[in-house]
Amino acid sequence: MGRAKRDIFTGIEIGTGSVKVAMAEFEEDDGLRVRGLGQESVPLHKVVKGEVADAEAVVELLARACSAAEKMAGRHLGRMFLAVTGSHIKSMNNPGRVRVARQDRQITDDDVIAANANARDFPLPIGKQLINHWDRRYLVDDCRETLNPIGLIGDLVEAEIHIVYGQTNNIMTSSQLVADLINQAPSALFYSGIASGYSLFTPAQMQRGVLVVDLGAGVTEYVVFHGPGVFHSGQITVGCQQIVNDLSLGLQLPYAKCQKILNALGEYGSAIMRLDSKRCLEVEALGQAPRRLPCSTIETIVELRLRELFELIRDELREQGAWSRLGVGAVLTGGGALIPQIDKLAQQVFSAPVAVGVPRQVKTDAGGTLDPRWATPLGLIRLGAFALDIESYQPSLWQLVGGDLKKAKDLIARAFRW
């Protein structure tokens, strides 16, 4: 049996631009009731490209964010799940094969479990640590791809898994910061790009094929969900801070001023450049006379950087054979998804449907919805519930695997184990 439905779960994200803490509990309808939120802005150079650079400063920010969330919830943090990100994160695919043992050559759940065990039997480079592994696809007799091979006739069954790993010391730094502050180690670690996807979609929806792009301050992560799990993931160490830096260089203005310009972009422009000489932005900077900047110049700088970013993602997914898996299209989330008309720009590059994604089925005590910046912390809570086998809140998964409850639980545990 799972734990009580009203247990509190906590998602913690230590990002380049902010530290976020979300406390929530599950409701009967697969919804999340958010009880507490805490957020602290991270000063420049304290977290660089998703990696902690100043541990003392980050601990202080995390302490304030946790305190704010607990005060709002009126409860302690409960089970905690931590997002992992940074330029050190890598991914790979690894296959595992078994020969079908039965005389009638019908594939059983034991064959699938054995194939997955063989796929997980791989050596990582020295100094690297496994973060998560996810089902990728199944092949029967080297030629038939299937969502679920159980019950099919074949001689060989192959399970391919997608592996996410990173630098051991970097991962331990973030985990130890949480453990030292709260006197409790995180219950599980998850790659933040994958966590974001689980806050937006159910596994049944992701089965059809969707690209999730999480645009953070220092890192942009992208994940293709398809079939039984994750088909491909990656990241580019370019985010909103790089756009601000481009504006600072191009406009010859201080970084802090350009950060305000980007944050207010929706008031005068968008991510797509429009030629209009009448649209200007008056800017004052310390030690400089006020200047009138054409809004089209600002838009051009923003568009060029974002267009290049989306082109890099598109080209890599095509190279990896993942682009053809996108049955649904793409969804943008993270702080960068708030840039006005960024979805329209991405749609131009991807030539596919693109939407801005917000966390699904979330209620807050204050009412309203949470924006894309909270996708990772809330996704951590959903993934954590899966990993701990606490909430069987996705009936579609049982339908996918078929068979009795024991078999289904075995397969789900394998698919979502960290």
Tens digits of residue pLDDT in 351-403: 999 999 999 999 987 666 789 999 999 999 999 988 875 434 344 333 333 44
Per-residue pLDDT reduced to its tens digit, 194-230: 999 999 998 888 999 999 999 999 999 999 999 889 9
Give SS3 for 231. Answer: strand
Phi/psi of residue 309, nearest 5 degrees: -60, -50
Sequence ranges of the domains in the chain: 90-166
> Which positions ≥6 away from 413 have C-beta within 8 Å?
389
User: What was the pLDDT predicted at 204?
Assistant: 82
Per-residue pLDDT reduced to its tens digit, 145-180: 998 899 999 999 999 999 999 999 999 999 999 999
R_g of the chain computed on alpha carbons:
22
pLDDT of 294 higher than 70: yes
How many whole angstroms separate alpha carbon 122 and alpha carbon 92?
A: 11
How many whole angstroms separate alpha carbon 300 and alpha carbon 243?
A: 11
Return the exposure string of 209-225: e unless at least 16 CB atoms fall within 10 Å of the residue's CB, then b.
bbbbbbbbbbbbbbbbb
Query: What does the CA dihedral 242, 346, 207, 418 come to, rounded to 10 degrees?
Result: 0
User: What was the pLDDT predicted at 147?
Assistant: 86
Q: What is the CATH number of domain 90-166?
A: 3.30.1490.110
Per-residue pLDDT reduced to its tens digit, 40-64: 999 999 999 999 999 999 999 999 9
